[in-house]
Amino acid sequence: MPERPRVAVVGSINTDLVVYTPRLPRPGETALGGDLHRFGGGKGANQAVAAARLGGTVRMIGRVGDDDFGRVATANLTRHGVNVEGVATTAGTPSGVALIVVDERGENLIALAPGANWRVAAADVEEGWPGASACSVLLMQLEVPLEADLRAAVLGRRAGWTVILNPAPAPATPLPAELLGLTDVIVPNEGEAAALTGLAVDDPDSAERAGRALLAMGPGAVVVTLGARGACVVTAESAEHIPAVPVRAVDTTGAGDAFCGGLALALAWGDGLVEAARYAGHVAALSVTRRGAQESMPTADEVAALLAGAGA
C-alpha cells in the first residue's frame, strides 16, 4: 500500500457560529433565523480537516486561545485526524471566532474576530516545523500574519515541498514579492484574483487573464476558483477551464477550503495540477451539499463515488 500523502498546514483555527436565515440581512436589518449552530472553522483548520478526511497525514501549525473555543477547536481537529502538536495556546487572548449567516440558497455573510490567529509568528512555524519534516506539500492562507506564511514558504521551498498559497481573505495591499516568488501554486477565488491583479474576474476568460497577470508576479501556477463556474488552471504553457460538478448547494461555507484541501492532497499523491484541480472540484461540490465547514468535508470514498458517477 502506498504511503499516505503528507500535508503541512500553517493557518487559522476558528469556531464558526452560524445562523441559517431565509435570506441574508441588509445593512441595519434584523433577519429572523433558526437555532444557533457551532462548527469548527478557520481557513487553515478547514483545509487541514479536508485533507485529513481524504486520507492524508496532516500536521497543523497555528494558535488558539486559552478558552473553551480553543479547547473544543483543537479537540475537533484531533477527532478529524489532524495532528495538533504544532498548535500553540496563547494565554490572555481569545480564540478566533467567525459569525456567519447563511441563506436558503447556501450563500453566506461572514464577520471574523481573528483572536489568537493573529499571534502566529515565524517562531511558531520554526518550532512546529521538525514534526512536519516528512511532508511534501505546504498549504497556507492569509488569516495569520504574513511573517508566519513567509517563513513557512522559505522552509517549504528549502525542503523541496510544493508550496500552495490560498490568498484568502482578499488582501487589502499587495502581497510581498518574496512570498509570491516562493509559491508554486496560488489559489484565489474571483474576488481575491481581482484584488491581487486589479482585473475584474467573473468567467473563465477573465479568470485566465487574471491568472496570466498573477503568473507575472512570481507564482509557478495559478488556479482561480469560480464557484458554480468551476475553476481555471493557468500555467506558463497552458490554461484549462474545469467545469463545476452540478449539485444542490445547502451551505457554501468552507467550499473554497474543501477545494484547497483536496488540491493539496491530490498534489501530495503525485497528481498533475489539472488532475488535482479536477479532484478538488469534486471535493468542493460534495462539501456544499452539507451544513458547516469542517463537518461538511467528504471522505475519499465519497469523492471516489462522485468521480465514478461523473465518469471521471
CATH of the domain at 152: 3.40.1190.20
Q: 187 pLDDT exceeds 80?
A: yes
Cell 508566519, residue located: 148
Give me the pLDDT at residue 132, please. 87
Q: 212 pLDDT exceeds 70?
A: yes
Average pLDDT for 278-303: 94
- Determine the structural domain holding residue 259 and report its residue range: 6-27+34-309
Give the pLDDT band of residue 309 (cuts 50, 70, 90). Answer: confident
Q: 47 pLDDT exceeds 70?
A: yes
Give me the pLDDT at residue 289, please. 94
User: Catalytic site residue 205?
Assistant: no
Residue 261 lies in a domain: yes
Mean pLDDT is lowest, of 23-27, 84-88, 208-212, 292-296, for 292-296
Residue-wise pLDDT for 137-170, tens only, equals 999 999 999 999 999 999 999 999 999 999 999 9
- Provide the b/e sequence for 147-165 (b: ≥16 CB within 10 Å): ebbbbbbbbbbeeebbbbb
Average pLDDT for 263-280: 97
Overall domain count for the chain? 1
pLDDT mean across residues, the chain: 94
Put the strands of the sheet holding 96-102 in their side by side order.
37-41, 14-20, 96-102, 108-113
Secondary structure letter of residue 189 according to DSSP: B
Residue 211 lies in a domain: yes
**Of residues 8 and 254, which shows the higher confidence score?**
8
pTM of the model: 0.93
Supply 189's cell numbers. Answer: 477565488
Cell 480564540, residue located: 95
260 three-class SS: helix
Give me the pLDDT at residue 311, please. 54
Average pLDDT for 239-268: 94
CA 33-80-305 angle, to 5 degrees, is 85
Average pLDDT for 181-208: 97
Average pLDDT for 64-84: 97
148/11 Cα distance (integer angstroms):
9
Give me the pLDDT at residue 191, please. 96
Average pLDDT for 170-195: 97
Give the pLDDT band of residue 1 (cuts 50, 70, 90). Answer: very low
282/259 Cα distance (integer angstroms):
8
Give me the pLDDT at residue 213, please. 98
Average pLDDT for 215-233: 97
Q: 3 pLDDT exceeds 90?
A: no
Residue 163 lies in a domain: yes
Residue 1 lies in a domain: no
Q: Please give the helix or strand (H or E) that residue 307 lies within, else none.
A: helix 300-309
List 103, 257, 271, 301, catalytic entry? 257
Average pLDDT for 267-273: 97
> Do you find a cis peptide bond into 169, omega within 30 degrees of 0?
yes
Query: Which residues, 6 or more positions from 214, have their beta carbon under 8 angstroms from its beta carbon?
Result: 186, 188, 193, 196, 197, 222, 234
Q: 66 pLDDT exceeds 50?
A: yes
